[in-house]
Structure 1
Amino acid sequence: MQKELDIKIKDALSQDLQKGVPIFLKDGFNEIESLEEGSIIKLRNPAGKFVGKGYVGKQNKGIGWLLTKNEDEPIDTAFFHKKITAAIKQRADYYGNKDTTAFRVFNGEGDGIGGLTIDYFDEFYLISWYSEGIYSFKEMILEALETSVSFKGIYEKKRFDTKGQYLEDDDFVKGERGEFPLIVKENGQNFAIYLNDGAMVGVFLDQRDVRKKIRDTYSKGKNVLNTFSYTGAFSVFAAAGGATKTTSVDLAKRSLSKTTEQFEVNGIDPEKQDIIVMDVFDYFKYAKRKELAFDVVILDPPSFARSKKYTFSSSKDYTNLLKDAIAITEKNGVIVASTNNATFGMKKFKSFVDKAFNESNRKYTIEEEFSLPSDFSISPLFKEGNYLKVLFVRTK
């Protein structure tokens, strides 16, 4: 068991923790150099009163996460078991859904342990570690998971700087190795998943509700453009919803084979869809030059991206991205505007939409709003955890 350290913190952080804010921000400490990853720290206000206990795990502006406000509660296997079983109980409806066999089981601070996520893929589990600190609890957390669920196999992703020492064979941890692609279901559609092939597995689970809405409400008889398309998940749902045609555009060369595969595992002929390997910003210029127009345009860019010709930051450049999309969207068309940038909220995101339409001399209405699905539990006192913002915008 890790050694526990007593540390006095600044009053602002102390007050946040007393409210239940789960993250330890760096500027709440008098000094951080002596704090080692994985250390369990008892935090006291300037007067010496205990306010919370957590662990050191450095992520962005955070130095660690609150685990308990009970000074005497040990951080051991039993602690992790309690948190994981509570999270599993909350997802009982997901486990019983035969149409959806991929979902989030444990969502970091929303389920009481910041820096840790666990996803379920049809009897396989994927653990993601977001700091060296949380990774130091690996054996306890593995034992807690093993005693909470039955499984075929467990995989992991280290989503922190491993300083070149990340040498594990295909991320396999224990149980049986999967046969990939593993075919999972989401609202009746299929996805080809790879738990053994780099950081990405083939689909972002947080967009589940958005994909369903696109399929069920916005696709029938429509010409759909999916930009920053990754493996074409939105395109698959659009095609399944009766789109006359989908066009998927992504700069990554692998997007062609990956998107082709996702169509094929759903019985959709990829030859009847357009899959284009191209910088999205160049494609907008091409589409405008060719006077192409789409009924539905999906914008789901990364928060930050750099290509040979362009640098994109969603906090600075989303308005211009929207203007590019507006220029090739039919009147009475729909733009699905999405961002996973946690540094701004929905109000700010809506201001990007408003500015883009005003500068394009177009009118609009917002028909739908989405944030994270119910399996992505959030802490109400950590707004950055509720990072996903999606708007369905009807053009006039």
Structure 2
Amino acid sequence: MTHPLPDLAALLARRAHLPARGTTVFRAAHTTETGGLFALDLAGDAAVLSLYTDLTAEEEARLAGACGALPGVAGAYLKRRPVEARHAANVAREWLSPPGPVWGEARPEVTALENGVPFLLRPGADLSTGLFTDARPVRAWVRDRTPPGGRVLNTFAYTCGFGLNAALAGAGTVKNVDLSRKVLAWGQENYALSGLPAPGTDFLYGDVFEWLGRLARRGDVFDLVILDPPSFARGKAGVWRAERDYARLAALAAGVTAPGGQLLALTNHAGVTGAAFEQLVTAGLGEAGRRGRISARLGAGEDYPGATHLKAQVWTLG
């Protein structure tokens, strides 16, 4: 590694207030602090090292050892994230995300806290370990602003972090929608960690676009609708690109948002500016014959210094 390693212990010390406040899963070193070479996430006593450049085996081992030397780390896992990772994930999964630790002890499952809420994480499971920590401020907003007794629809739910926070806030109904049965079951495990009931009827398997149409035809409306799609995805209906298709998604979501309700729209596409994102959502609302105003704008947490990729806009619909 030709570049000198940053002082990981010093970067971790800057985040010392997070565990003290009940958050033990967070980013310990962001790419803006490592020259774009890597990022480091901590999940309890497991370290997850994400590489954004090609390193030799010796360089990888040296970096993993530096992560393992941090206080409280029992094992370190590696994620290789070349630009083409999203295309290679199905053919080179074990190379991109080795299932075992590259340093120290195995931690196949870890329970870590975010603002006091426990989440089940799997450091070696895949490129995504169970929680996207950059969205912590957005999940906190959901916990703070979900109307008691209200109806919440959480789409592209993944392991249901948004839905869980809405349920903890006292929502009357929370529906989580995702195209993966595996992550919905994982979400049910997260509910169980907080002692919440997780009936199968609240975890809807299938295509989000199809579900939005189905719910609209049934006349279902929600006080809060959460949209957290990937930037890019391939599916039966073709290729989804946030910069091209988000307006259509927003239009469908508007069809199930109650008058006076809120639409929480997120994108993690670094190439879509906040202004362009606002235009996409505005176009979608217009297509649905709805009007809205932005009542809040949110971004990545403080452990992502300089990050601009995550945009979250809260729209109140008329």
Give the counterpart letter for 2:47 in structure 1.
Y
Which among 359, 364, 368 is matched to residue 296 of structure 2? 368
Name 1:94's counterpart in structure 2. Answer: 18
For the structure 1 residues 124 and 259, does the alpha-carbon distance in structure 2 shift closer, same or farther, using more than 3 Å as the test? same
Deviation at 1:264, TM superposition (A): 0.9
Which among 168, 172, 175 is matched to residue 240 of structure 1? 168
Which among 114, 121, 145 is matched to residue 193 of structure 1? 121
| Contact 1:129–1:135 (8 Å) recurs in 2 | no
Q: Which runs of 5+ in 2 are unaligned?
A: none
- What is the DSSP-based 3-state SS (H/G/I as helix, E as strand, rest coil) of the residue aligned with 1:270? coil
RMSD: 2.2
Which among 362, 384, 389 is matched to residue 311 of structure 2? 389
| Contact 1:249–1:277 (8 Å) recurs in 2 | yes
- What is the DSSP-based 3-state SS (H/G/I as helix, E as strand, rest coil) of the residue aligned with 1:100? coil
Name 2:35's counterpart in structure 1. Answer: 113
Which among 21, 27, 30 is matched to residue 104 of structure 1? 27
Alpha-carbon distance between aligned partners in 2 of 1:376 and 1:318, rounded to the nearest angstrom: 25
Name 1:287's counterpart in structure 2. Answer: 215
Alpha-carbon distance between aligned partners in 1 of 2:96 and 2:265, rounded to the nearest angstrom: 38
Deviation at 1:169, TM superposition (A): 5.7
| Contact 1:221–1:243 (8 Å) recurs in 2 | yes
| Cα deviation code 1:141-168 (max 9, x no counterpart) | 2343344434222111222368847298
Alpha-carbon distance between aligned partners in 2 of 1:256 and 1:112, rounded to the nearest angstrom: 34
| Cα deviation code 1:177-233 (max 9, x no counterpart) | 22x431111111110111121222111111111111111112421100011111111
TM-score normalized by structure 1? Answer: 0.74
- What is the DSSP-based 3-state SS (H/G/I as helix, E as strand, rest coil) of the residue aligned with 2:95? coil
Q: How does 1:1-396 map to 2 (within 5 A)?
A: 40=2, 75=3, 79-80=4-5, 82-97=6-21, 99-108=22-31, 110-133=32-55, 137-160=59-82, 164=92, 166=95, 170-178=99-107, 180-271=108-199, 274-378=202-306, 385-396=307-318
| Contact 2:77–2:98 (8 Å) recurs in 1 | no
- What is the DSSP-based 3-state SS (H/G/I as helix, E as strand, rest coil) of the residue aligned with 1:298? strand
Alpha-carbon distance between aligned partners in 2 of 1:169 and 1:328, rounded to the nearest angstrom: 41
For the structure 1 residues 281 and 134, does the alpha-carbon distance in structure 2 shift closer, same or farther, using more than 3 Å as the test? farther
| Contact 1:222–1:244 (8 Å) recurs in 2 | yes
| Contact 1:287–1:328 (8 Å) recurs in 2 | yes
Give the counterpart letter for 1:325 in structure 2.
A
Deviation at 1:306, TM superposition (A): 1.9
Deviation at 1:386, TM superposition (A): 1.4
Alpha-carbon distance between aligned partners in 2 of 1:311 and 1:230, rounded to the nearest angstrom: 19
| Contact 1:245–1:273 (8 Å) recurs in 2 | no
| Cα deviation code 1:5-60 (max 9, x no counterpart) | xxxxxxxxxxxxxxxxxxxxxxxxxxxxxxxxxxx5xxxxxxxxxxxxxxxxxxxx
TM-score normalized by structure 2? Answer: 0.91
Q: Rg larger in 1 or in 2?
A: 1
For the structure 1 residues 134 and 361, does the alpha-carbon distance in structure 2 shift closer, same or farther, using more than 3 Å as the test? farther
Q: Percent identity?
A: 28
Number of equivalent positions: 311
Give the counterpart letter for 2:13 in structure 1.
K
Q: Which runs of 5+ in 1 are unaligned?
A: 3-39, 41-74, 379-384
Alpha-carbon distance between aligned partners in 2 of 1:327 and 1:135, rounded to the nearest angstrom: 52
